[in-house]
Amino acid sequence: MSEQRILILLGPPGAGKGTQASRLAAHLGLPHVATGDLFRENLSQGTALGQRAKSFMESGKLVPDELVLEMLFDRVSRPDCAGGYLLDGFPRTLPQAEALTERLAGLSVSTLSLEVPDDQLVERASGRLLCKSCSNIHHATFSPPRVAGVCDACGGELYRRKDDDPAVVRERLAVFHEQTQPMIDYYARQGSLESIDGTQSPDDVFASLLARLDAGTSAGGRA
Ligand SMILES: [Zn+2]
């Protein structure tokens, strides 16, 4: 079968979505299409789409959904996406989801939503300790350094990013929920949303994702 298999992975910031997306894409042999990468790529290569995006960004405006969709479909029209692809970071809003559904009509699409309660996301973020000297990351609760404030890997000084401050994380999550809840409701109404418990260990989250996808495939096969 030459049908395209399209996976959409949704989840709040800090839920481990990017990591799971990379792992899932590698496991299934599908390209991992992250909208953040599309922007960087089009901007750095100075493509026509990138130049249009740049003109919005330079005047302090949001890049319109249509333009993001154009970048996206420009990317997924390449040969490596012939068998399908995994979308990470798009859609984020109801209008984006509706536009995407329209473009993907008739294709096999699985929408997976990683769910982690806000309190846990705040705990995960606020415990993060970054090293000033290397790329090592500790966590105050889950992987504390042997010596407080000192990186196990290189002895560098550990610090917490301002972005990981509980108040900042809560604000970010509030914005996320406000933007995405109508979209989540929309997918749920269509009956095409698979919720995954994102509080499990990364390996168990990955196994759950695969199990849902296999269940979806065999149900489709029997139909
Ligand atoms: Zn270090």
* Per-residue pLDDT, 220: 44
Q: Is residue 181 part of a domain?
A: yes
Element (H, E) at 19: helix 17-28
* Per-residue pLDDT, 128: 94
pLDDT of 132 higher than 90: yes
Nearest one of 219, 163, 222, 161 to 194, comparing CA atoms = 219
Name the band, by pLDDT with cuts 50, 70 and 90, for residue 35: confident
Q: Is residue 54 part of a domain?
A: no
Per the annotation, the verdict on 161 as an active-site residue is yes
Domain count, the chain: 1
* Per-residue pLDDT, 69: 92
* Per-residue pLDDT, 22: 94
Here the CATH number for the domain that contains residue 106 is 3.40.50.300
| Geometric angle at alpha carbon 105, from 101 and 106, rounded to 5° | 145
Q: State the burial class of residue 218 (Cβ atoms within 10 Å of its Cβ: 0-12, 13-18, 19+).
A: exposed
* Per-residue pLDDT, 168: 94
- What is the rounded distance in angstroms from the CA atom of residue 20 to the CA atom of residue 24? 6
* Per-residue pLDDT, 192: 84
Q: Is residue 141 part of a domain?
A: no
pLDDT of 41 higher than 80: yes
Name the band, by pLDDT with cuts 50, 70 and 90, for residue 36: confident
Per the annotation, the verdict on 172 as an active-site residue is yes
Ligand 1 mean position, distance from CA 135 (Å): 6
The mean pLDDT value for 210-219 works out to 76
Under a CB-based contact definition with an 8 Å cutoff, are residues 20 and 205 in contact?
yes
Q: How far is CA 164 from CA 13, 129, 131, 173, in A?
A: 11, 9, 14, 12
Which is catalytic among the residues 52, 172, 212, 222?
172
Under a CB-based contact definition with an 8 Å cutoff, are residues 97 and 65 in contact?
no
Per the annotation, the verdict on 92 as an active-site residue is yes
Q: Is residue 88 part of a domain?
A: yes
- Domain boundaries, position 12: 5-30+83-116+177-222
Ligand 1 mean position, distance from CA 155 (Å): 6
Under a CB-based contact definition with an 8 Å cutoff, are residues 8 and 111 in contact?
yes
Ligand 1 mean position, distance from CA 142 (Å): 17
The mean pLDDT value for 105-112 works out to 92
Q: Is residue 74 part of a domain?
A: no
Name the band, by pLDDT with cuts 50, 70 and 90, for residue 139: very high
Which is catalytic among the residues 92, 160, 170, 212?
92
| CA atoms within 13 Å, Cβ hemisphere of 91 | 26
Per the annotation, the verdict on 162 as an active-site residue is no
* Per-residue pLDDT, 42: 94
pLDDT of 223 higher than 70: no
Under a CB-based contact definition with an 8 Å cutoff, are residues 198 and 189 in contact?
no
Under a CB-based contact definition with an 8 Å cutoff, are residues 53 and 63 in contact?
yes
What is the model's pTM? Answer: 0.86
The DSSP annotation for 95-140 comes to HHHHHHHHHTTTSEEEEEEEE--HHHHHHHHHTEEEESSSS-EEET
Which is catalytic among the residues 17, 23, 75, 124?
17
Q: Is residue 151 part of a domain?
A: no
* Mean pLDDT computed over every residue of the chain: 91
Ligand 1 mean position, distance from CA 19 (Å): 21
Q: How far is CA 124 from CA 128, 160, 161, 170, in A?
A: 7, 12, 13, 12
